[in-house]
């Protein structure tokens, strides 16, 4: 299975606190860590750790953070030959996490803003060969739209994780195979507060399958043929950072392996849940052995 991820790469600076700060409040952190992140990188790491061949397309700065990201991707076997090194700072994110696993995130795009149409054209051969291309919205929206169009031209399936949420053009929606918002993103994209109405509206806009991640409850799936509420497993959440990203990486892997949608959702829910049991982004993403162990326990009961 060959998965191409086109998107963001960041260095995350993670502060752990007892409570998230209120407006104007200064609080003390009880822990500090750095971790590789960015929605694109997270999804690439997730898919690779679950066994896929992964190509990463995006941009990092000509700095220590950029080199650290590329080196770590090389260590786990992600193809980094398509990553552009540009003369600006690597993207970064400032993340605050409280004791309940809730977080706030401020992202500085940096080199991610340099992912343009020319980079997409340069890597058309990789898109042609892919089983799935995964996009997010931490690179310029015009690049995302152009990349989705190119993928569909070659009949390559597209997963769009619409985060951070933006209003999407009709052209994007009708060319996406699977869209994966969380509940908040669904409201922004669809204009509907009701989950089912929002998902239905996206289908009517041309999306073929809608999957809404609903946190500890699992995920909701809607197509013109099926409606599924897939429950997650119970875990003690420490940090929800990258949970949605790991879900997306897992979804692409599961579908590439030929799993039916019910099995794919269950698999992805487990991966997302396990991600919340560890702190950080890339460091929290589970390997296949961890996921299989949970699934074996579940089915042996």
Active site residues: 245
The answer to whether the annotation marks 239 as part of a ligand binding site is yes
The answer to whether the annotation marks 3 as part of a ligand binding site is no
Q: How many other C-beta atoms are found inside a 10 Å radius of the C-beta of residue 81? A: 12
Strands 2-6 and 91-97: unpaired
The answer to whether the annotation marks 182 as part of a ligand binding site is yes
Q: How many other C-beta atoms are found inside a 10 Å radius of the C-beta of residue 108? A: 14
The answer to whether the annotation marks 100 as part of a ligand binding site is no
The answer to whether the annotation marks 84 as part of a ligand binding site is no
The answer to whether the annotation marks 216 as part of a ligand binding site is yes
Q: How far apart are CA 60 and CA 227, in angstroms?
A: 40
The answer to whether the annotation marks 11 as part of a ligand binding site is yes
The answer to whether the annotation marks 156 as part of a ligand binding site is no
The answer to whether the annotation marks 10 as part of a ligand binding site is yes
- Concatenating the DSSP letter of every residue in the chain gives -EEEEES--EEEEEEE-SSPPPTT-----SEEEEEEE-HHHHHHHHHHHTT-EEEEE-EEESSHHHHHHHHHHHHHT-B-TT-EEESSPPEEEEEEE-TTS-EEEEEE-GGGGG--HHHHHHTHHHHHH-SEEEE-SSS-HHHHHHHHHHHHHTT-EEEE---S-----HHHHHH-SEE--BHHHHHHHH--SSHHHHHHHHHHTT-SEEEEE-GGG-EEEE-SS-EEEE-------S--TTHHHHHHHHHHHHHHTT--HHHHHHHHHHHHHHHTTSSSSGGGPPPHHHHHHHHHHHHH-
The answer to whether the annotation marks 39 as part of a ligand binding site is yes
The answer to whether the annotation marks 245 as part of a ligand binding site is yes
The answer to whether the annotation marks 280 as part of a ligand binding site is yes
The answer to whether the annotation marks 91 as part of a ligand binding site is no
The answer to whether the annotation marks 214 as part of a ligand binding site is yes
The answer to whether the annotation marks 215 as part of a ligand binding site is yes
Which residues are documented as binding site for ATP?
Answer: 182, 213-218, 244-245, 269
Which residues are documented as binding site for substrate?
Answer: 10-12, 38-42, 138, 245
Which residues are documented as binding site?
Answer: 10-12, 38-42, 138, 182, 213-218, 239, 241, 244-245, 269, 275, 278, 280, 284
């Amino acid at each position: 299975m060959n998965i191409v991820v086109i998107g963001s790469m960041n260095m995350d600076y993670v502060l752990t606190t007892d409570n998230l700060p209120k407006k104007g409040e200064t609080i003390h952190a009880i822990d500090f860590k750095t971790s590789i992140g960015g929605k694109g990188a997270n999804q690439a790491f997730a898919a690779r750790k679950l066994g896929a061949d992964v190509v990463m397309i995006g941009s990092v700065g000509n700095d220590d953070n950029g080199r650290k990201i590329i080196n770590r991707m090389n260590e786990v076997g992600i193809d980094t030959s398509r990553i552009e090194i540009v003369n600006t700072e690597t993207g970064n994110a400032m993340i605050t996490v409280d004791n309940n696993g809730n977080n706030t995130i401020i992202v500085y795009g940096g080199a991610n803003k340099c992912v343009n149409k020319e980079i997409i054209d340069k890597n058309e051969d990789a898109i042609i060969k892919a089983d799935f291309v995964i996009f997010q919205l931490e690179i310029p929206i015009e690049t995302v739209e152009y990349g989705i169009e190119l993928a569909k031209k070659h009949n390559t399936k597209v997963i769009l994780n619409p985060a951070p949420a933006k209003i999407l053009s009709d052209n994007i929606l009708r060319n996406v195979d699977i869209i994966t918002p969380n509940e908040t993103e669904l409201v922004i994209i669809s204009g509907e507060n009701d989950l089912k109405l929002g998902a239905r509206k996206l289908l009517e806009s041309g999306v073929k399958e809608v999957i809404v991640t609903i946190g500890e409850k699992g995920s909701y799936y809607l197509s013109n043929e099926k409606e599924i509420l897939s429950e997650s497993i119970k875990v003690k959440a420490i940090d929800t950072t990258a949970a949605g990203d790991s879900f997306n990486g897992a979804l692409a892997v599961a579908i590439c392996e030929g799993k039916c949608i019910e099995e794919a959702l269950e698999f992805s829910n487990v991966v997302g849940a396990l991600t919340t049991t560890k702190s950080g982004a890339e460091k929290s993403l589970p390997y296949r052995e961890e996921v299989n162990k949970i699934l074996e326990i579940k089915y042996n009961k």
